[in-house]
Homo-oligomer: A and B are copies of this chain.
Amino acid sequence: MTRVLYDLCGIDEGLRFSPYCWRVRYALAHKGLEVETRPWRFTDKAALAFADHDKVPVLVDGETVVTDSYEILRYLDRAYPEAPLLGDDLAEGRARFLRHYAERTLQPAIMRTIIMDLFNAIHPDDRAYFRESREKRFGRTLEEFHSPAKGLSQLDAGLEPLRGRLKEAAFLDGDAPAGADYLVFGCFMWARCVSSADLVSNADPVHAWLERMLDLYAGLGRQAMRITDVEGAYR
């Protein structure tokens, strides 16, 4: 049985930057599950028709097709109950809060900071789609939305609860990482792959956590291709 993850790629097939796909990559590694990743681009909707979905991640696990990063983590907990990612009941409900924290607090702040780097990292064939869909969402041009000064100040404020938690434990989920760590860390992998911007100062407890997360699973995150590894791609 081959397990396949459809994974967003950029200007290079090896450049994988989706925060949602990174959640799943880490979740699979957490469970000790092998996966073959298949590069996918924003405009390649036809390739996902089998899943009746138009976005990645899409996980194909034997006969099972699962879409949406959070649902994939839930599926993995059901199918492979050892080493829970989200857990049940109170744990699962609180993981949902952390998902929203990543998506509604951290990601918008990071987006504001790195959006022109992100645009540059996207495959040329995807750029018109990306510009149109995002400009519609933000209600302004990418160039107008782009503001590292505002983004970094928003991020700094948004990181406060994470800082508090990481002052008392090595990982968000305690002594060892689990689902909440991956839900939040995905957006830092996203930024790392497309940009060389420093989002967090060295003295921040969040920085030390990021370093620990990059080292997990034989350097899964640390070894990922970055835009700076793609010859001629980084301005």
Interface locus among A9-17, A23-31, A164-172, A208-216: A164-172
- Report the nearest B residue to A96, measured CB to CB: B165
Taking CB atoms, residues of chain B closer than 8 Å to A98 are 94, 97, 161
Taking CB atoms, residues of chain B closer than 8 Å to A105 are 157-158, 160-161
**Cα-based distance from A116 to B157 in the complex (angstroms):** 23
A90 contacts which of B91, B99, B160 (Cβ < 8 Å)? B91
Tell me the dominant secondary structure on chain A's binding face. helix
A86-119 at interface with B (beta carbon < 8 Å): 86-87, 89-91, 93-101, 103-105
Q: A70: shortest Cβ distance to chain B, in Å? A: 11
A157 contacts which of B89, B101, B157, B165 (Cβ < 8 Å)? B157
**Cα-based distance from A91 to B92 in the complex (angstroms):** 8
Interface locus among A41-49, A129-137, A173-181: A173-181
When all copies of this chain in the complex are counted, the total is 2
A154 at the interface (CB under 8 A from B): yes
**Cα-based distance from A86 to B89 in the complex (angstroms):** 11
Beyond A93-B172, A94-B94, A169-B93, is A100–B160 a contact (Cβ under 8 Å)? yes
A180 contacts which of B93, B163, B168, B174 (Cβ < 8 Å)? B93
